[in-house]
Amino acid sequence: MAGVAGQLVFLLLLSPGVFAQEWRFYGGDAGGTRFSALQQINRNNVGRLKRAWTYHMGEIDRGGNETDRHHVAPFESTPLMVDGVLYFSTPSNRVIALKAETGKEIWQFDPQAGHSGQRQFFQHRGVSYWQNRNGEDRRILFGTFDGRLIALDAKNGKPCRNFGKDGTVDLRAGVADAFPGREYSVTSPPAIYQDLVITGAAVPEYPSKGPSGSVRAFDVRTGKLVWTFRTIPQPGEAGHETWQEDAWKDRTGANVWSIMSVDSEHGLVFLPVGSASYDFYGADRKGMDLFSNSLVALDAATGKPRWYFQMVHHDIWDYDMPAQPVLITLRRDGREIPAVAQVTKMGFVFILDRLTGKPLFPVEERNVPESNVPGEAAWPTQPFPLRPAPLVRQSFSEADVSDVTKESHQYCTELAHSLQTRGMFTPYGLELTLVMPGTLGGGNWSGASFDRASGYLFVNANELGAVGAMQPQAADAPERYRRGSNDGEYARFWDDNQWPCQKPPWGTLNAVDVNNGEIVWKVPLGSVDELKGKTGTPNLGGSIVTAGGLVFIGATIDSRFRAFEANTGKQLWVADLEANAHATPMTYIGEKTGKQFVVIAAGGGGYFRGKVSDTLAAFALPEK
């Protein structure tokens, strides 16, 4: 395996600024800051930004129908740009390469080619890039819904035959052998550290037994397994004592379905670990359930744990760690501290020392409500960071009922009166319960972007509750209780229009100063055209920040793409899109034209109604 010294030599061989003009990682860099040093497009001229090219990836019909768009797979991919080529994935797992300046297709690879049966669609957030020191071997690595890890030659899109078996590693082997029919899907780009490709996966949220959520590293050249980290510790491993009796056996969940971050300098990989299954009932897993709902730092070369910080104990709310950890630098008392920021569904942002996992702002363990569900033992306390303040409302009272229309107020008042709630971390009860924020609330996989110069962390958040009751199941069911409601297992606290039942804003963009933990500004994100005022909207999809003083973000359910002034939160530009952009944008410089482009996927679908499209849209400044 090439050492750190070799990597540094390789970096020096590249002309300075080459990385600044590209977008080589999902998060802009390995640490997920989503920062670009480009400033050709800036706060003074962004108002002139125009569509430069449009690419249609050809997957408009991908499930669902006109009346029910809930089942349409969203187009969540963020392209990479390396050496003048864009690489991205589609909702059917195809990988496509385009010329970065024109959007003209170079190649595409279809992992479903030759498969019988109906074409499958699912969310997929992108691919990863690796190259050797002299740049002769360049690979695109990505995972599939059916649990394969595939390496492609970046030049032509052909499988790298020396990787695994003919370019493919079967990721199900060793983690899903006993559960051949259960989900094991890779929906996020894997992490790259030196010559390792590190993978997590999406696994079942119900029932509690199923494929393992272990994280594994493979040799990027051969596909051979190098290390495994068990997110649910086995007997003799640290953390095993947090599982009562045999609760750890065959337990699914506690997986990394989102995006990992890498600190190459310190040789660390950061894992945002999700909930243990079943998500809403933990009677068969009493205890804190490590390392579920934790940020875990591993030695990237060996997979050995360095530290962990659990952000939810014994999760019964589906409060996964949903977002890529952001590797930030915090200034305090004249010194710089390497830190990591983790965005959560609870609306908290935890800021920890990157090397030790110690909180850099005080965190209190506070008493939270008990569960009234037979057999359940909610953990008595949960961690509350004192700074930054929560980005969203975490409780609800009658005074909060939405009054955007008379009909909405009436509907939401009746719904609110039918619900029980006891504040933050209220467990779903035997009666219909309101949980604030819900599973789509707070900060989601949208994550955050970070500007080191200002110390601002930009986070978009949802103000959206969830509704459900724990319903007894048949004697032969895998779980004794399961969350349900008249609107299904994942009911939201919204009206017939999908307008949240509390007063706006329903979605916000926030700037947090990581140096002092203060929220510097907060603005509504998105608008509902039928309503007056700045409502904000529910949103999924992240932001990027540039040295031009701009924060770019789609995410909203109004099919628009926006640019905000990074210092103030003032909206400077907005463009209409073919559909909602539930994806994170990216930016780069075109080699021939020298133009800065900003690109975003606008596909609609996912959890929200509305138009569906197959658009990848690029924007640039027009010729003078």
Which residues carry out catalysis?
318
DSSP class of 500: B
Give every CB contact of residue 190 below 8 A, 6+ residues apart in sequence. 128, 141, 142, 143, 149, 197, 198, 199, 200, 260
- How far is Cα 270 from Cα 67, in angstroms, rounded to an integer? 41
Q: How does strand 105-109 pair with strand 550-553?
A: unpaired
Concatenated DSSP letters of 525-591: ----TTS-S-----B-S-EEEETTTEEEE--BTTSEEEEEETTT--EEEEEE-SS---S--EEEE-T
Taking CA atoms, 303 is separated from 216, 224, 300, 342, 474, in Å, by 8, 15, 6, 20, 41
CA angle 129, 130, 136 (to 5 degrees): 120
- How far is Cα 315 from Cα 312, in angstroms, rounded to an integer? 6
Measured distance between the N- and C-terminal CA atoms of the chain, rounded to whole angstroms: 49
Contact present, 90 and 97 (Cβ < 8 Å): no
DSSP class of 185: B
DSSP class of 116: -
Q: Which of 440, 588, 603 is nearest to 89 (CA)?
A: 603
- How far is Cα 524 from Cα 337, in angstroms, rounded to an integer? 31
- How far is Cα 241 from Cα 230, in angstroms, rounded to an integer? 14
* CA atoms within 13 Å, Cβ hemisphere of 218: 24
Name the β-bridge partners of 251: 209
- How far is Cα 599 from Cα 436, in angstroms, rounded to an integer? 34
Q: Which of 67, 47, 29 is nearest to 609 (CA)?
A: 67
Question: 10 Å Cβ neighbour count for 466?
Answer: 25
SS3 category, 458: strand
Q: Which of 432, 360, 440, 359 is nearest to 392 (CA)?
A: 440
Give every CB contact of residue 451 below 8 A, 6+ residues apart in sequence. 35, 458, 545, 566
Radius of gyration of the chain (CA): 23
- How far is Cα 434 from Cα 428, in angstroms, rounded to an integer? 8
Concatenated DSSP letters of 362-403: -EEEEE-PPP-STT----SEEEEESSSPPSS-----GGGB--
- How far is Cα 28 from Cα 39, in angstroms, rounded to an integer? 15
- How far is Cα 112 from Cα 74, in angstroms, rounded to an integer? 18
Bond from prior residue into 505 cis (ω within 30 degrees of 0): yes
Contact present, 161 and 175 (Cβ < 8 Å): no
Q: How does strand 543-546 pair with strand 35-36?
A: parallel
